[in-house]
Amino acid sequence: MSHILKCDKCGNYGLKENCDCGGKRINPKPQKYSPEDKYGAYRRKTKYGK
């Protein structure tokens, strides 16, 4: 089963991992929330720079 992917370079959507522009397509959905997130503090630190 294929999922729709978004190119990180140009923003186009498609089913293939490689985009026509030469960029790589990634999954645009965020990760599921877990109250037992071991790495949440590190992710927030890099996101907000604190």
Strand partners, 5: 14
pLDDT of amino acid 15: 92
pLDDT of amino acid 50: 55
Q: What is the mean pLDDT of residues 5-33?
A: 90
Residue 34 resides in a domain = no
Share of the chain above pLDDT 90, in %: 44
CA nearest to 31, candidates 50, 47, 15, 13: 47
DSSP state of 44: H
Residue 2 resides in a domain = yes
- pLDDT tens digits for range 32-47: 778 888 888 887 888 7
Higher pLDDT, 19 or 33: 19
Q: What range defines the domain where residue 11 resides?
A: 1-28
The SS3 call for residue 43 is: helix
Phi–psi pair at 41, nearest 5 degrees: -65, -40
pTM: 0.56
The SS3 call for residue 40 is: helix
Residue 41 resides in a domain = no
